[in-house]
């Protein structure tokens, strides 16, 4: 739930940030607003570092764990089927989100170019759906399990992407973009929350690796969509890739649910003990 709230703030920034930059750069000069944003982020970073240093200096001194044993346990956890499935899902998810949010505007422009430029708003519909989905995820988690929420959300995202491909109007594409963002919203934070709960202390040692995997997915899948569009000359066909990615994530999530399910005890083995 906490990760969904954190990602809600991130999605809110993605929705509000571009209009704010455009409002501040009314004369077309982006230097001043970007410098101001960099200064603000630098101040926030310094305050966070100062807080971290003060907490570490005031906290009790604890013996460091055996680093060799910790690395061995982290490597063993990383090689587990659950961790490999989660890494694959994170790789595909980040790539799918980046590809959908990045290429949907180009698709809308090719589908319905207008002098008003309304087709550029399709990305805002996607991010608004993402924002609403992450705001609603905390309440939904009170009724369904985290693993079930991820699976249901992926079906919603798949329906949105298929609606984008099937739609022949800007309204249909915009609604599909909103639905896709709504479905994709809880997937990453909820998956990461399950990951931290499952692996406990080892999750902190593996989180950096999974963030690298996420970055690779965010770089590869959008490039693959663009490469396919250039080779086939049809962006609609290339956008089938995110739909296939969502289908792959559904399969992975079902496998993850099976991996997370408690195994039945073997009574015969217990009696032998």
Q: Taking the domains of the chain in order of start, what are their residue ranges?
A: 2-6+67-258
Q: What is the pLDDT of residue 247?
A: 96
Q: Give, for all 273 residues of the chain, the pLDDT tens digit.
A: 555 566 666 666 666 666 666 666 666 666 766 777 777 777 877 776 676 556 555 555 444 455 454 445 444 555 578 888 988 999 999 999 999 988 888 888 887 665 555 667 788 889 889 889 888 888 888 888 899 999 999 999 999 999 998 877 888 888 999 999 999 999 998 988 888 887 766 666 677 777 888 889 998 999 999 999 999 988 889 999 999 999 999 999 999 998 887 765 454 444 443
C-alpha to C-alpha distance for 75 and 64, rounded to whole angstroms: 19
The phi-psi region of residue 182 (left if phi > 0; otherwise alpha if psi is between -120 and 50; otherwise beta) is alpha
Q: Cα(118)–Cα(170) distance, rounded to whole angstroms?
A: 9
Instruction: Work out whether the CA dihedral 86, 161, 20, 215 comes out positive or negative.
Output: positive
- Separation CA 180–CA 247 (nearest Å): 13
pTM over 0.85: no
Q: Which residue do the tokens 């910790």 mark?
A: 70
What pLDDT does 160 receive?
94
The pLDDT value recorded for residue 270 is 40
Report the pLDDT value the prediction gives residue 142, as an integer from 0 to 100.
86
Both structure tokens of 141: 């988690």
What pLDDT score does 19 carry? Answer: 62
Whether domain 2-6+67-258 has CATH 1.20.1250.20: yes
Residue 249 vs residues 60, 95, 111, 136, 192: alpha-carbon distances, Å: 43, 12, 28, 21, 14
The answer to whether the beta carbons of residues 184 and 164 sit under 8 Å apart is no
pLDDT at 269: 45
Contacts of 67-72 with C-beta under 8 Å, sequence gap 24+, read: 70/202, 70/205, 71/205
In 10 A of CB 209, how many CB atoms?
13
DSSP for 191-210?
HHHHHHHHHTHHHHHHHHHH
Is 208 in contact with 130 (CB distance < 8 Å)? no
CA angle 233, 236, 237 (to 5 degrees): 70
């Amino acid at each position: 739930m906490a990760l969904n709230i954190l990602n809600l703030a991130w999605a809110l920034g993605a929705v509000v940030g571009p209009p704010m930059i455009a409002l501040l750069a009314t004369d077309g000069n982006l230097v001043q607003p970007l410098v101001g944003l960099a200064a603000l982020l630098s101040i926030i970073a310094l305050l966070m570092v100062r807080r971290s240093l003060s907490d570490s200096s005031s906290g009790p001194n604890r013996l460091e764990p055996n680093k060799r044993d910790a690395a061995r346990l982290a490597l063993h956890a990383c090689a587990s089927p659950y961790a490999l499935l989660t890494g694959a899902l994170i790789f595909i998810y980040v790539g799918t989100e980046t590809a959908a949010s990045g290429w949907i505007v180009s698709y809308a422009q090719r589908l319905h170019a207008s002098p008003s430029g309304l087709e550029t708003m399709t990305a805002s519909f996607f991010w608004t759906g993402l924002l609403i989905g992450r705001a609603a995820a905390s309440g939904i988690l009170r009724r369904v399990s985290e693993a079930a929420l991820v699976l249901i959300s992926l079906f919603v995202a798949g329906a949105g992407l298929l609606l984008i491909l099937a739609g022949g109007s800007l309204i249909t594409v915009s609604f599909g973009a909103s639905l896709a963002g709504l479905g994709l919203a809880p997937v990453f934070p909820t998956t990461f929350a399950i990951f931290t709960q499952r692996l406990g202390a080892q999750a902190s040692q593996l989180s950096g690796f999974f963030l690298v995997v996420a970055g690779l997915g965010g770089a590869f899948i959008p490039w693959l969509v663009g490469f396919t569009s250039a080779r086939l000359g049809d962006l609609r066909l290339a956008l089938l890739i995110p739909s296939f990615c969502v289908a792959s994530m559904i399969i992975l999530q079902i496998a993850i649910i099976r991996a997370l399910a408690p195994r039945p005890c073997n009574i015969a083995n217990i009696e032998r003990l």
